[in-house]
């Protein structure tokens, strides 16, 4: 009977191991809904771009630099995840702080880029073509997702710096890393999309 109990426990453990963690499942559902939203917006952008009076936009060079920055932040957060799994907590904390700094730099560069579009190129919300409206709405929504990720990153970093590590579960870091990779890839997609249509 003891042997049977051990077998049952083993099977339960294997069954649990195959299930996706609820936090990861929630993240993927959220990512799927965000993808649908941005797909709808970019599809509407394509339709509007075929209308008469559509205005082309010259993208500021700082957007290219901001792309390099956010890609670098994806690399650092992936390295931080590896460091966490290896229980190298000091390296993990340092890499997460670097990721936060790179994220803040990206947001600052985005603000400068859109400031240039607003003032130097006079890309505003008004206009019959709707180019400005679509650009600011789509990029603004991406910016909100990045800022949301920044808030979560800062919370994770603060907990790692001042909180006691009660569990070495890597799930929170994995979820944060996956989300950050998502906003990174989403920005690259939007940049290429706007460059092709603008």
DSSP 124-159: -S-SSS-HHHHHHHHHHHHHHHHHHHHHHHHHHHHH
Least reliable range by pLDDT among 47-56, 83-92, 130-139: 47-56
Least reliable range by pLDDT among 65-74, 76-85, 169-178: 169-178
Walk me through the domains of the chain, giving residue ranges and CATH numbers. 26-197 (1.20.120.80)
| Rounded Cα distance, 6 and 21, in Å | 24
Q: Give the pLDDT score at 4.
A: 38
Cα–Cα distance list, 121 to 84, 115, 138 (Å): 45, 9, 18
Residue carrying the six token digits 């996956």: 178
| Rounded Cα distance, 76 and 36, in Å | 28
For 140-173, write each residue's pLDDT tens digit. Answer: 899 899 999 999 999 888 887 876 655 667 788 8
């Amino acid at each position: 009977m003891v042997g049977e109990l051990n077998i049952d426990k083993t099977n339960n453990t294997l069954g649990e191991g195959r299930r996706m963690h609820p936090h990861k499942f929630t993240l993927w559902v959220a990512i799927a809904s965000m993808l649908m939203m941005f797909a709808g917006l970019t599809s509407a952008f394509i339709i509007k771009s075929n209308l008469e009076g559509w205005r082309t936009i010259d993208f500021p060079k700082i957007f290219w630099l901001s792309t390099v920055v956010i890609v670098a932040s994806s690399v650092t957060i992936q390295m931080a995840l590896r460091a966490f799994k290896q229980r190298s907590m000091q390296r993990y904390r340092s890499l997460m702080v670097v990721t936060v700094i790179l994220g803040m730099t990206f947001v600052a560069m985005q603000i400068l880029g859109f400031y240039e579009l607003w003032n130097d190129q006079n890309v505003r919300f008004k206009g019959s073509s709707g180019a400005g409206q679509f650009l600011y709405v789509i990029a603004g929504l991406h910016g909100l997702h990045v800022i949301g990720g920044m808030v979560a990153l800062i919370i994770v970093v603060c907990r790692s710096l001042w909180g006691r590590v009660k569990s070495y579960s890597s799930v929170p870091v994995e979820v944060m890393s996956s989300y950050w990779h998502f906003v990174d890839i989403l920005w690259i997609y939007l940049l290429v999309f706007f460059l092709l249509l603008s």
